[in-house]
Structure 1
Amino acid sequence: MSSTHNQEKLKELLTQYYLNTNEKMVFLNKKGQVIALNEAAEEVFSEDNDYSQMTHAICRRCEGYSNEFDLMSCENCFLEALEVGNGSFQVFMRTKDDKIEPFTASYEVIDKTKEIYAFTLHNVSPQIERQDRRYQRLMMQKTISAQENERKRISRELHDGIVQELINVDVELRLLKYQQDKDELIDNSKRIEGLMSRLIDDVRNLSVELRPSSLDDLGLDAAFRSYFKQFEKNYGMHIVYHTDFSSQRFDSEIETVIYRVVQEAMFNALKYAQVDTVYISLYQGEASIIAEVSDQGIGFKLGDKAKGTGLGLFGMNERAELVNGSVNIDSQVGRGTIVTLEVPITDKR
């Protein structure tokens, strides 16, 4: 079979692919003007709009693209940074019916002499929707599992701690009525008083873990100071706390999110960092509240599989998103971890 015949056959196959593929294929010149596009591409680039007369035709429909770090817009645009075209990437395009759809895309030079580029798109909405549903189911399973584990923990604390103390008090009270000697009666009464004091502390500690009343009544600073004191007593970890505000109050949901994220970060440090001191800062910027929890522990490599269920890190991000906040985790092996929460300030309460 001759080389010419092979080339003609290849040309025919490529033409058929161009005409029949679901991929949206657009050819552009160095000015960004559309030279040609297949029928599939008309979902985005309609010939009615006469894109051939427009420079940077892609820009007319582009709503930004994403890299491995974040959603990008015109800054570092893939049209200028051609190295992006070395592989596929995700881009968001506005279709003719004014919907913004996600596509996998490539943008590559196909003729260096004539400076002709090929821009191809493949709609990935169904795949992303399936991934989202699968991710939601997975997170729901983890959430339910975490809730059940927390209920088991509370149940054990109630049974092994509070209930046992109540049983001891009950036994001591039953014996008390048989005491004849006044001094012995006084001693037993004091012992019962001590049992009741420990019982009150246990109930108070459990109540604080579930929802500290000081957070609702007095605000973040008071709630944190109370919680850190109890945390040090319960776990033997030293808390170094700095803040630049004390009595300010903020939206209840914001205060709750900050409290819970700091709480989760502290428990992560307790379980994994192998340290006896944690540093916590809470301060107010011009338009946000910033909370930082840091340790000088063993750290970890970002991107590695999370220890435990990984639900703690997920939960911190989910909580932050509820109030339009963000969580940043910076960790280095052997040097420690810094968890930073930033929450924009809304109306004060």
Structure 2
Amino acid sequence: MEQRSVPSRIGTLLVGAGFIADVHAAAVTASARAHLAGIVDTDPGRAAAFSRSHGAVPHTDDLAEALAWPDVDAVVVCTPNHTHLGIGAAVAAAGKHLLIEKPLATTIADAQSLADAFAAAGRVLTAAHSHRHHGYGRTVKDAIDSGAVGRPAHVRLSILGGWIWTGWDAWAADPVASGGHALHNGVHVLDLATWWLSGDPVRVYARGRHQTAAELRINDYLEMVVEYAGGAVAVLEMSRAHRPGSFGLRELQVVGSGGIIAEEWADESAFLYTEGGTGLVPASGVDGFGAQFESWLDTIGGAPPAMPVADAVRAVELAVAVEESILAGRPISLGAAA
């Protein structure tokens, strides 16, 4: 583990004052190793309002100005997906560490460009794939790594919901701003399945629907099949199309040579089925965003990353392949996606 000299409390700048910024701000303020150094938003009024509700921290609509504040050591970016490349490049040039909301970028080339920029700057770049840090994600990964199911060969994961972001005009429903549903939300399940399997994905076949309304500019319902070198397969479902609006469901199943892990949303623990009988994988009630932030601080200090940059680039590649597969109506080989 490479040890780095870091401040006792890392000054953390937030960029973007939308709804997810409150969640990240809570993680910053809950940490004994960091403090909120300020907020940047292109809307001065929104930046000022966020500042008032978070202890009157410094605020501005000028990113370059904020990056020059002496108290800023690291940055958390909570802006629309299509802005990630420009903002991330500015953060790297300023020599700050970065935690950026997923996806890392909306194209493979942009994602790799950010990875290269931070490698050259010698600073930590982490994509905020928070589901790796939620209790269920970590619990399933630990069970697989412990050998509880033998060699994993199949993942079935569905995350279903019934809400359409913040409205019909939300940037997440704009295919240019978001990159499409696969990049904005589908990337969660694509990354989780690949992480659980420790797999090398080779091919993606997907379909999508405008389920809520034909007027939607993105597919709010996705079905995705990912094939891996060695024969493992993941069958994934991501939806924001289910009704009523309060609906929420998560189902997962991991099948291996020695057992099965199965979980539904309501379960605090996952079931483990083996020839020796049925048991429970212990619950892991974890604040995913808080755990993610602390893990990022660990990485800034020199610990191995829980979300390696290469994994974040690969998640973008998978999501881009999903979008291309839907348009083409055929499987897309990894490496062939744009």
TM range (shorter): under 0.3
* TM-score, normalisation: structure 2: 0.23
What's the TM-score, normalizing by structure 1? 0.23
Q: Give the helix-richer structure, 1 or 2.
A: 1
